[in-house]
Protein backbone atom coordinates (compact mmCIF):
# COMPACT_ATOMS: atom_id res chain seq x y z
CA UNK A 1 0.00 0.00 0.00
CA UNK A 2 3.04 2.25 -0.04
CA UNK A 3 2.34 2.96 -3.70
CA UNK A 4 -0.99 4.75 -3.01
CA UNK A 5 -1.01 8.49 -3.60
CA UNK A 6 -4.66 9.10 -4.55
CA UNK A 7 -7.65 8.22 -2.36
CA UNK A 8 -11.19 8.53 -3.73
CA UNK A 9 -14.27 8.51 -1.53
CA UNK A 10 -17.83 7.65 -2.43
CA UNK A 11 -20.18 10.27 -0.96
CA UNK A 12 -23.66 8.88 -0.22
CA UNK A 13 -23.59 6.53 2.79
CA UNK A 14 -19.79 6.77 2.92
CA UNK A 15 -19.30 10.41 3.86
CA UNK A 16 -22.89 11.22 4.80
CA UNK A 17 -26.33 9.62 5.29
CA UNK A 18 -28.38 9.09 2.14
CA UNK A 19 -30.21 5.76 1.78
CA UNK A 20 -31.98 6.25 5.10
CA UNK A 21 -33.70 9.30 3.65
CA UNK A 22 -34.63 7.50 0.43
CA UNK A 23 -36.20 4.64 2.37
CA UNK A 24 -38.21 7.11 4.45
CA UNK A 25 -39.39 8.73 1.21
CA UNK A 26 -40.35 5.35 -0.20
CA UNK A 27 -42.42 4.57 2.91
CA UNK A 28 -44.24 7.90 2.54
CA UNK A 29 -44.94 7.07 -1.10
CA UNK A 30 -46.29 3.64 -0.22
CA UNK A 31 -48.64 5.19 2.34
CA UNK A 32 -49.95 7.56 -0.33
CA UNK A 33 -51.04 4.60 -2.46
CA UNK A 34 -52.23 2.22 0.24
CA UNK A 35 -55.83 2.50 -1.00
CA UNK A 36 -54.72 1.04 -4.33
CA UNK A 37 -52.20 -1.63 -3.32
CA UNK A 38 -50.44 -3.04 -0.21
CA UNK A 39 -47.21 -1.29 0.81
CA UNK A 40 -44.87 -4.12 -0.22
CA UNK A 41 -46.48 -4.33 -3.64
CA UNK A 42 -46.15 -0.57 -4.16
CA UNK A 43 -42.47 -0.79 -3.19
CA UNK A 44 -41.90 -3.59 -5.72
CA UNK A 45 -43.68 -1.63 -8.45
CA UNK A 46 -41.58 1.46 -7.69
CA UNK A 47 -38.32 -0.49 -7.78
CA UNK A 48 -39.30 -2.04 -11.11
CA UNK A 49 -39.99 1.42 -12.50
CA UNK A 50 -36.61 2.66 -11.26
CA UNK A 51 -34.77 -0.21 -12.90
CA UNK A 52 -36.57 0.25 -16.24
CA UNK A 53 -35.76 3.96 -16.26
CA UNK A 54 -32.23 3.87 -14.88
CA UNK A 55 -30.69 4.16 -18.34
CA UNK A 56 -32.82 7.27 -18.97
CA UNK A 57 -32.69 9.11 -15.64
CA UNK A 58 -29.51 7.86 -14.04
CA UNK A 59 -29.16 8.04 -10.26
CA UNK A 60 -30.57 10.70 -7.96
CA UNK A 61 -33.64 12.37 -6.49
CA UNK A 62 -35.07 13.80 -9.69
CA UNK A 63 -35.22 10.43 -11.42
CA UNK A 64 -36.70 8.96 -8.24
CA UNK A 65 -39.46 11.61 -8.31
CA UNK A 66 -40.32 10.82 -11.93
CA UNK A 67 -40.42 7.11 -11.14
CA UNK A 68 -42.78 7.72 -8.20
CA UNK A 69 -45.12 9.71 -10.45
CA UNK A 70 -45.06 7.05 -13.18
CA UNK A 71 -45.70 4.31 -10.63
CA UNK A 72 -48.57 6.21 -9.03
CA UNK A 73 -50.20 6.64 -12.42
CA UNK A 74 -49.81 2.98 -13.31
CA UNK A 75 -51.01 1.60 -9.97
CA UNK A 76 -54.08 3.84 -10.01
CA UNK A 77 -54.82 3.11 -13.69
CA UNK A 78 -54.41 6.82 -14.33
CA UNK A 79 -56.97 7.76 -11.70
CA UNK A 80 -54.67 9.08 -8.97
CA UNK A 81 -55.95 12.52 -7.98
CA UNK A 82 -53.80 15.60 -8.48
CA UNK A 83 -53.40 15.80 -4.71
CA UNK A 84 -51.41 12.54 -4.72
CA UNK A 85 -49.16 13.75 -7.52
CA UNK A 86 -48.57 17.00 -5.62
CA UNK A 87 -47.63 15.00 -2.53
CA UNK A 88 -45.20 12.93 -4.61
CA UNK A 89 -43.52 16.18 -5.67
CA UNK A 90 -43.44 17.26 -2.02
CA UNK A 91 -41.67 13.99 -1.10
CA UNK A 92 -39.04 14.73 -3.74
CA UNK A 93 -38.60 18.34 -2.64
CA UNK A 94 -38.19 17.18 0.94
CA UNK A 95 -35.47 14.74 -0.15
CA UNK A 96 -33.62 17.54 -1.94
CA UNK A 97 -33.63 19.66 1.22
CA UNK A 98 -32.57 17.06 3.77
CA UNK A 99 -29.78 18.06 6.13
CA UNK A 100 -26.33 16.66 5.43
CA UNK A 101 -25.47 14.40 8.36
CA UNK A 102 -21.85 13.24 8.31
CA UNK A 103 -21.06 9.68 9.23
CA UNK A 104 -18.92 8.88 12.23
CA UNK A 105 -15.20 9.49 11.82
CA UNK A 106 -15.36 11.29 8.47
CA UNK A 107 -14.02 14.79 9.30
CA UNK A 108 -11.11 13.59 11.43
CA UNK A 109 -10.14 10.96 8.85
CA UNK A 110 -10.05 13.52 6.04
CA UNK A 111 -8.16 15.94 8.27
CA UNK A 112 -5.50 13.30 8.92
CA UNK A 113 -5.17 12.32 5.26
CA UNK A 114 -5.13 15.81 3.79
CA UNK A 115 -1.67 16.82 2.65
CA UNK A 116 -0.42 13.23 2.72
CA UNK A 117 -2.57 12.01 -0.19
CA UNK A 118 -4.51 13.54 -3.05
CA UNK A 119 -8.14 13.24 -1.93
CA UNK A 120 -11.00 12.90 -4.41
CA UNK A 121 -14.79 12.52 -4.26
CA UNK A 122 -16.05 9.94 -6.77
CA UNK A 123 -19.82 9.57 -6.46
CA UNK A 124 -22.94 8.87 -8.50
CA UNK A 125 -26.06 10.99 -8.48
CA UNK A 126 -27.62 14.22 -9.68
CA UNK A 127 -25.02 16.95 -10.27
CA UNK A 128 -26.83 19.81 -8.52
CA UNK A 129 -27.92 17.68 -5.58
CA UNK A 130 -24.46 16.24 -4.97
CA UNK A 131 -22.85 19.67 -5.27
CA UNK A 132 -25.37 21.02 -2.75
CA UNK A 133 -24.65 18.23 -0.28
CA UNK A 134 -20.92 18.70 -0.62
CA UNK A 135 -21.22 22.43 0.08
CA UNK A 136 -23.45 21.86 3.09
CA UNK A 137 -21.18 19.10 4.41
CA UNK A 138 -18.26 21.45 5.06
CA UNK A 139 -15.93 18.83 3.53
CA UNK A 140 -15.20 20.54 0.21
CA UNK A 141 -11.93 22.00 1.52
CA UNK A 142 -10.36 18.55 1.86
CA UNK A 143 -10.67 17.48 -1.76
CA UNK A 144 -8.38 18.02 -4.71
CA UNK A 145 -11.04 16.95 -7.22
CA UNK A 146 -14.79 16.24 -7.31
CA UNK A 147 -16.11 13.68 -9.82
CA UNK A 148 -19.89 13.22 -10.03
CA UNK A 149 -20.27 10.16 -12.22
CA UNK A 150 -23.24 8.98 -14.27
CA UNK A 151 -22.28 5.40 -13.41
CA UNK A 152 -19.52 3.44 -11.69
CA UNK A 153 -18.44 0.71 -14.04
CA UNK A 154 -14.92 -0.40 -14.90
CA UNK A 155 -14.73 2.01 -17.84
CA UNK A 156 -15.89 4.93 -15.68
CA UNK A 157 -13.07 4.33 -13.22
CA UNK A 158 -10.60 3.97 -16.08
CA UNK A 159 -11.60 7.44 -17.27
CA UNK A 160 -11.32 8.86 -13.74
CA UNK A 161 -7.88 7.36 -13.13
CA UNK A 162 -6.68 8.68 -16.50
CA UNK A 163 -8.11 12.12 -15.73
CA UNK A 164 -6.32 12.16 -12.38
CA UNK A 165 -3.09 11.17 -14.14
CA UNK A 166 -2.37 8.33 -11.74
CA UNK A 167 -1.97 4.58 -12.11
CA UNK A 168 -4.46 1.96 -10.86
CA UNK A 169 -1.78 0.73 -8.43
CA UNK A 170 -1.60 4.18 -6.82
CA UNK A 171 -5.40 4.57 -6.54
CA UNK A 172 -7.56 3.61 -3.55
CA UNK A 173 -11.36 3.80 -3.60
CA UNK A 174 -13.34 3.86 -0.35
CA UNK A 175 -17.08 3.23 -0.41
CA UNK A 176 -20.10 1.39 0.99
CA UNK A 177 -21.13 -0.49 -2.17
CA UNK A 178 -19.20 -3.60 -3.20
CA UNK A 179 -20.96 -3.50 -6.57
CA UNK A 180 -20.17 0.13 -7.42
CA UNK A 181 -17.17 1.13 -5.29
CA UNK A 182 -15.16 -2.08 -4.97
CA UNK A 183 -15.46 -4.58 -7.82
CA UNK A 184 -14.86 -2.17 -10.76
CA UNK A 185 -11.78 -0.71 -9.05
CA UNK A 186 -10.33 -4.15 -8.35
CA UNK A 187 -10.97 -5.09 -11.99
CA UNK A 188 -8.82 -2.11 -12.96
CA UNK A 189 -6.00 -3.19 -10.68
CA UNK A 190 -6.59 -0.56 -7.99
CA UNK A 191 -7.07 -0.82 -4.24
CA UNK A 192 -10.60 -0.79 -2.75
CA UNK A 193 -11.81 -0.46 0.84
CA UNK A 194 -15.37 -1.40 1.79
CA UNK A 195 -16.98 0.51 4.68
CA UNK A 196 -20.51 -0.96 4.93
CA UNK A 197 -23.55 1.16 5.73
CA UNK A 198 -26.36 -0.56 7.63
CA UNK A 199 -28.86 0.04 4.79
CA UNK A 200 -28.18 -0.75 1.14
CA UNK A 201 -30.38 0.03 -1.86
CA UNK A 202 -31.54 -3.22 -3.48
CA UNK A 203 -29.81 -2.29 -6.75
CA UNK A 204 -26.45 -2.17 -4.94
CA UNK A 205 -26.79 -5.52 -3.13
CA UNK A 206 -23.86 -7.87 -3.63
CA UNK A 207 -23.43 -10.65 -1.11
CA UNK A 208 -20.05 -12.11 -2.04
CA UNK A 209 -16.93 -10.33 -0.86
CA UNK A 210 -14.07 -10.30 -3.35
CA UNK A 211 -10.95 -12.31 -2.72
CA UNK A 212 -8.11 -9.98 -3.56
CA UNK A 213 -4.99 -8.73 -1.82
CA UNK A 214 -6.07 -5.27 -2.99
CA UNK A 215 -9.37 -5.47 -1.09
CA UNK A 216 -9.96 -4.53 2.55
CA UNK A 217 -13.04 -4.05 4.73
CA UNK A 218 -13.51 -1.78 7.74
CA UNK A 219 -16.30 -1.19 10.23
CA UNK A 220 -15.56 2.53 10.37
CA UNK A 221 -13.87 4.89 7.95
CA UNK A 222 -11.27 5.79 10.61
CA UNK A 223 -9.83 2.27 10.43
CA UNK A 224 -8.26 3.07 7.05
CA UNK A 225 -5.68 5.18 8.90
CA UNK A 226 -4.16 2.05 10.44
CA UNK A 227 -3.47 0.58 7.00
CA UNK A 228 -1.90 3.57 5.27
Taking alpha carbons only, the member of 1, 7, 15 closest to residue 144 is: 7
d(CA 148, CA 20): 21
Which one is predicted more confidently, 65 or 206? 65
d(CA 83, CA 85): 5
Order the strands of the 171-175 sheet from edge to edge. Answer: 145-149, 118-124, 6-9, 171-175, 191-194, 215-217
119-146 pLDDT tens trace: 999 999 888 899 999 999 999 999 999 9
187-223 pLDDT tens trace: 999 999 999 987 666 555 556 778 889 999 999 999 9
Mean per-residue pLDDT over the chain, rounded: 92
CATH class in words for 6-16+101-226: alpha beta
% the chain with pLDDT above 90: 83
The Cα-based distances of 114 to 107, 154, 174, 214 in angstroms read 11, 27, 15, 22
Please tell me the predicted confidence (pLDDT) of residue 206.
Answer: 58
Please tell me the predicted confidence (pLDDT) of residue 204.
Answer: 57
Average pLDDT rounded to a whole number, residues 97-103 = 95
Is pLDDT of 176 > 90?
Answer: yes
Please tell me the predicted confidence (pLDDT) of residue 58.
Answer: 87
Please tell me the predicted confidence (pLDDT) of residue 177.
Answer: 92
Is pLDDT of 75 > 90?
Answer: yes
CATH class in words for 19-96: mainly alpha
Query: Domain segments of the chain: what residues?
Result: 6-16+101-226, 19-96
Is pLDDT of 79 > 90?
Answer: no
Amino acid sequence: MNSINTIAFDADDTLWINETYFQEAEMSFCRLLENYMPHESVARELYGTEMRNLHLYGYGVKGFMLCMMETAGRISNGNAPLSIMNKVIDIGHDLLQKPVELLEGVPETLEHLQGKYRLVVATKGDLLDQERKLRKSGLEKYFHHIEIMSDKKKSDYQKLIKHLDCTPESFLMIGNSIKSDILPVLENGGYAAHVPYHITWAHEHHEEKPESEYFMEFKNIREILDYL
